[in-house]
Amino acid sequence: MKRTRLTQVREIEASSGLYGSTKALDNSVQASIRKIQRKAHKVAKALYKRDPKSSEFLAMHAKRSKSASAQILVNAIKGLAPKFASEKQASHGMYGYPKKTVTRGLGACAEMKDFTGSIVSNLHQRKHEKYDDLLSYLKAHKKETQCPCTSAMLMYIPSRDMRFASEAQEQSSLRDSLIRLAHKKPHLQAHLKDLIGETPNWLYWSDWD
């Protein structure tokens, strides 16, 4: 009887995360969301400092295009910008904003897309065996909280059958990239040669000839 009760307690503890998930999955997803939010705050702070009008552009872009990355930045920039509404003067860029503001705003969105994609790909790689549970959690959290980070993660999560390159494959790719760089930048050859060294995992330096 005691063993049965202990098993039940363990099962309850294991499923004590949000939306019926395990606590481990809950913690992993929430940690990923916090990473995205911290990155967004850093990007938004640098963008607003360079171009205050970017806050207005991002708010418009989030509303018009339903851009999750723009909404993530809008949430991050709210504490930096005293207000979004201000006197507007039409220009020739997107939504009537100056072209430089548009370029900077879209660039920030692209940076957040890339970062979010990396975060959710890493999460997928670690939780690949619980893909259905991960997907269900993200969908439930998006519905419950309207969290733009979760929306973006759902957009960029790899498909179930996606397989990631092994460490050996990544090393090989890096090796090839460095050798191509050495061909283009001869003055870096000595530094790269010392950095990599001649090991069985790398192409021989004669390949540079």
The residues spanned by each domain of the chain are: 21-156, 168-208
pLDDT digits (tens, 9 = 90+) for 36-90: 999 999 999 999 999 998 999 999 999 999 999 999 999 999 877 665 545 556 6
The pTM assigned to this predicted structure is: 0.69
121 contact partners, CB below 8 Å, separation of at least 6: 156, 157, 158, 164
Q: Which tokens in the block code for residue 15?
A: 């499923």
Cβ(120)–Cβ(164) below 8 Å: no
Cβ(193)–Cβ(205) below 8 Å: yes
Average pLDDT for residues 12-27, to the nearest whole number? 79
Q: What is the 3-state secondary structure (H, E, C) of 184-206?
A: HCHHHHHHHHHHHCCCCCCCCHH
**Residue 168, exposed/middle/buried by CB under 10 A (0-12, 13-18, 19+)?**
exposed
